[in-house]
Structure 1
Amino acid sequence: MPRVEEIEAIRHECRAMIRRRAATSAILAAAPLPGVDVAADMAMLMNALPQISREFGLAPEQIEQLEEAERVALYGTIKGFSNSFIARAVTRKMIALLLARALGVRQAARFAPVLGQAAAAAISYRVMTWILNKHVEECYAAARAVEQIRLFGPGSVIIEGELADVDRS
């Protein structure tokens, strides 16, 4: 599990990777080859989501190695996220459902010449950055929660930069 200073650096590196992948997705969405963009988006997400989790130390096999208090803090944080990919095996079915919801408009837009392709590219870029940035922020929050437990112990939490003891009785 990365340390506090490493967590920020990982977040920054992941965001740069996301911009590159989203740009690739946009270029493929603008191409007039049906189905290529969806297949590429699925492949990118199947690769990127677990890679981001792994960078933050949140792949399933990495989580198994955490201390019990760290896992409790992690799962408590994850519970607050809707549809998180943290600690889950990413499947084609999950990605297909996510893309179907997010990219339905893109498929319709591409049938209009030139402007439709530009709109499809813009939509594709935005959807890829949204999905992957959401995952980065969830991983960031989860990694910070684990690091707080590691630094301050299971009975403490950080509230607006101040250390507070939690009375659990």
Structure 2
Amino acid sequence: MPSAIELARGDEKLITAIHRSRRLIGRKALMAAAASAVPLPGIDWAADAALLSRLVPQISAEFGLSVTQVEKLAPHQRERIQKAATTVGALLVGRLVTRELLIKLARHAGVKLTAKQAAKYVPIAGQIVSAALGYAALRALGEQHIKDCVRVSATLSLPPPGPHAPT
């Protein structure tokens, strides 16, 4: 499977957006790892959901595909984006992140998330494994969303917006 950089096909603006998005993922994944190390059941799931609900719109914004950015476009452009997202199988591009969408996204990382929960019950080593799996799961989900955004942008030849401070 090609990486996000390969999918960008040398487009410097897309590559820059990919790098900014990966920095966001790195910070959020560290937070997910810290939450996963806490030996209380359910804390990591709540933290993962909260982190993903913030991370996905931030990544989308890097590519000009957040809900607010898409809503500002003309109706025919919004329709093109939704069709392109459907065509490439992008689950979260240009959509509001809801509980149902997070559940679908979690199914993609289901094995890692289940192993993370099971590992918590082994003292110390289990918490380290749980933290590592929490980090890996959030990185994998974030990287998949980056690839989806790149595919949609490349399909429509949409240049991502310039650098900004996403919220």
Q: TM-score, normalised by structure 2?
A: 0.74
The answer to whether 1:50 aligns with 2:57 is: yes
Q: TM-score, normalised by structure 1?
A: 0.73
Equivalenced residues, count = 146
In the alignment, structure 2 segments of 5+ residues that lack a partner are: 1-10, 160-167
The answer to whether 1:107 aligns with 2:111 is: no
Q: Please identify the structure whose Cα radius of gyration is greater.
A: 1
- How many percent of aligned residue pairs carry the same amino acid? 32
2:48 is aligned to 41
2:6 is aligned to none
Asked if structure 1 preserves the Cα contact closer than 8 Å seen for 2:29 and 2:138, the reply is yes
2:129 is aligned to 119
Kindly provide the CA deviation profile for residues 50-70 of structure 1, in whole angstroms up to 9, marking residues without a partner as x: 111122111233224445665
2:33 to 20, 26, 31: 26
Asked if structure 1 preserves the Cα contact closer than 8 Å seen for 2:39 and 2:121, the reply is no
The answer to whether 1:132 aligns with 2:135 is: no
Q: Give, in whole Å, the separation in 2 of the partners of 1:47 and 1:94.
A: 13
TM superposition shift of 1:97: 4.9
Q: Give, in whole Å, the separation in 2 of the partners of 1:26 and 1:84.
A: 24
In the alignment, structure 1 segments of 5+ residues that lack a partner are: 150-169
Asked if structure 2 preserves the Cα contact closer than 8 Å seen for 1:53 and 1:139, the reply is yes
